[in-house]
Amino acid sequence: MCTTCGCGSSHKHEHEHEHEHEHEHEHSHDQARIIEVEQNIFSKNNRYAALNRATLLRYKIAAFNLVSSPGSGKTSLLTQTIKALQTKQTISVIEGDQQTDNDAERIRAAGAMAVQINTGKGCHLDAHTVGHALEQFPLDTTDLLFIENVGNLVCPAAFDLGELAKVVVLSVTEGDDKPLKYPDMFRVAKLMLINKIDLLPYVDFDTDLTIDYARRINPEIEVILISAKTGEGFELWQQFLTNKIVDRKSTELI
């Protein structure tokens, strides 16, 4: 037995011998030790998010991360928003989907610049990918950036992309208890858009109850009732965006 470290085999140690001697083989110590780490596992994503946030601040761009389940009408809301605002603001859009660039095409057809990110098997966008997408836009002329996340009410909640705020879109054709079923998303969102309100007469969706549920989790969440189809609620939504753009433009760089 090795008398230096107590392990069972012979191996090299520094001896205070004047002579050299042969050993049968070398091996590394396999002594276990515990090291303290205390590291948030989101820290890698958060580091990239901080870089994106700094870039967006430098170019004074107001960025919103749009999150929802599939089919809530995010892309239709965006195309209508672009049509309504494009004479006043320059809008860019990052589109996240597992496959196809159909949504980016819809955005371009509406008149904004769009970069499509296909996540493949991935169920959410991450800050690193978004950072590379940002490189493809003329940031110095962009006022407003929308990041349309993968349609998924779970995973995108966990990942900061460097946005100013997450905006959760919930349509009235979904259950009115969605905020309780997917509380993580409603906790991190600053604004809830209740979409497709033109369909309210045809569905059993209790708007007040949904708002109550969302505010149990996030008392400060703002709410706008909206319809991408009829344009109802767009005035409030545009006002929300315009206020954020004005705030961002007046932000002094430190």
Partner 1 sequence: MHELSLAEDMLDMIVQRSKEDGFERVSKVWLEVGKLSHVEAEAMEFCFDAVMAGSLVEGAVLEIIASEGMGQCLHCKTTSRIEYLYDPCTYCGKFGLDITQGDQVRIKSLEVH
Contact residues: partner 1, CB under 8 A: 28-45, 122-124, 126, 154-155, 157-159, 179-180, 183-184, 187, 213, 215-217, 219
Least distance in Å: CB of 47 to partner 1?
10
Least distance in Å: CB of 124 to partner 1?
6
In angstroms, the CA 210 to CA 44 distance is 34
Least distance in Å: CB of 44 to partner 1?
4
Closer to partner 1 by Cβ: residue 157 or 169:
157
Closer to partner 1 by Cβ: residue 14 or 18:
14
- The contacts of residue 18 (CB under 8 Å, 6+ apart) are none
As given in the structure block, the two tokens for residue 228 are 């991408």
Radius of gyration of the chain (CA): 26
Closer to partner 1 by Cβ: residue 162 or 179:
179
Closer to partner 1 by Cβ: residue 21 or 121:
121
User: By the 8 A CB rule, do 165 and 60 touch?
Assistant: no
Least distance in Å: CB of 131 to partner 1?
15
Least distance in Å: CB of 163 to partner 1?
16
Closer to partner 1 by Cβ: residue 199 or 217:
217
Report the sign of the C-alpha dihedral through residues 112, 115, 116, 117, in that order.
negative
Closer to partner 1 by Cβ: residue 126 or 143:
126
At 19, the amino acid letter reads H
State how far the alpha carbon of 207 is from the alpha carbons of 24, 53, 180, 189, 220, in Å.
Answer: 78, 33, 14, 18, 17
Least distance in Å: CB of 39 to partner 1?
5
On the 0-12 / 13-18 / 19+ scale of CB atoms within 10 A, 48 is buried
- The contacts of residue 33 (CB under 8 Å, 6+ apart) are none
Residue 112: left (phi > 0), alpha (psi -120 to 50), or beta? beta
